Structure 1
C-alpha cells in the first residue's frame, strides 16, 4: 500500500466535496436552468472521481511499488514545480498554445509517459482547452508569438 497515494486521494475527495458544497450555495439566476454552480460542481465531481481512483490504486499497490515511488518522488515534485514556473514565465511571450503544449509534453515525460503519447497529448490538449475556454466560455487566452495567425 502506498500511504501517500491514499492520503492524496482522500484529500482530493475531501477538497472536491468542499468545492461542491460551496458551489451549491451560489445564488441562482432567474430564467436560466443552470447557474454559476454548474462548472465548479463538474470540476468537483472530477476531483472526487480522480481522488477515489488515486486512493484505490494506492491501496491496491504492493509494498515494493511504494519504495520505488518514494525514491523518485522528490525529483518529480521539483520537476513539476519547474514546469509550473516555466509555464508562468513563458505564457505571456510564447502564448497559451505553445506553452501548454510544451508543459503537457514535459509533465507526461516526467511522470513516465512515452514520447509518442506525450507528443500526442501535447498537441491535442491545447487545442481542446482552447475550444473550451476561448470558444465556449469566451475566456481570452494569450496568443503570444502566434498572434499573427490568431482566429
Structure 2
C-alpha cells in the first residue's frame, strides 16, 4: 500500500510541476530583463518535479519512508499548508516583513527548532528576502504595518 501511495504522490508532484512550468511559460516578459515573472514558479516547479522523481525512484526500489504513523507524520505538513494559506491571507494586511516573520517563526518551531533559532530565522529571513527581492531583483514587497518606516 505504501508503494502505491508513493507512486501516486510522486506522479502527482511531477504532473503538478509540469503543469506549473506550462502555465508559467505563458507569463509575459517585462522589459529587457533576462528573467521575468516566470522565474520563481519555474524554480518551484523544478523542485516539485525533482521531489516527485525522487519519490518515484524510492518507490521503484522498494524503499519505504520511516513513519510515525499516518496521522502523526501528516500533521506537520498539514500545519505547514495552513501556514502558507494564512501567510497568503495576512500578506496584504500585515505586509511581507511581519507576515514572513510570523510564518518563519511558526515553521521553524513546527519542525523542531528552538526559540532562539526560530527568532533568528524570523528576523533575518525577511530581511534577507527583502534584500534579494528589492535590491537584486527589483521586485517591491508590500510593507503593510511597516509602511511608516519603509526605506
Structure-2 residue corresponding to 1:141: 141
Counterparts in 2 of 1:37 and 1:76: CA distance versus 1, 3 Å: closer
Unaligned runs of 5+ in 1: none
Instruction: Give matches, 1:12-51, under 5 Å.
Output: 12-23=13-24, 34=34, 36=36, 39=39, 40-51=41-52
Cα distance in 2 between the residues matched to 1:51 and 1:9: 4
Cα distance in 1 between the residues matched to 2:90 and 2:150: 18
Instruction: Give matches, 1:44-63, under 5 Å.
Output: 44-55=45-56, 60-62=63-65
Unaligned runs of 5+ in 2: none
Mapped contact 1:24–1:37 kept (Cα < 8 A): no
Instruction: Give matches, 1:25-104, under 5 Å.
Output: 34=34, 36=36, 39=39, 40-55=41-56, 60-62=63-65, 65-66=66-67, 68-73=68-73, 75-76=75-76, 78-104=78-104
Cα distance in 2 between the residues matched to 1:144 and 1:93: 6
Mapped contact 1:101–1:122 kept (Cα < 8 A): yes
Instruction: Write the deviation string for residues 61-114 of structure 1: whole angstroms up to 9, x where unpaired.
Output: 35xx33x2412155435533542343244333432112111112212322x232
Counterparts in 2 of 1:17 and 1:132: CA distance versus 1, 3 Å: same
Counterparts in 2 of 1:71 and 1:125: CA distance versus 1, 3 Å: same
Cα distance in 1 between the residues matched to 2:81 and 2:136: 30
TM-score for the superposition, normalised by structure 1: 0.65
Cα distance in 2 between the residues matched to 1:82 and 1:24: 28
CA-CA distance at 1:26 after TM superposition: 6.5
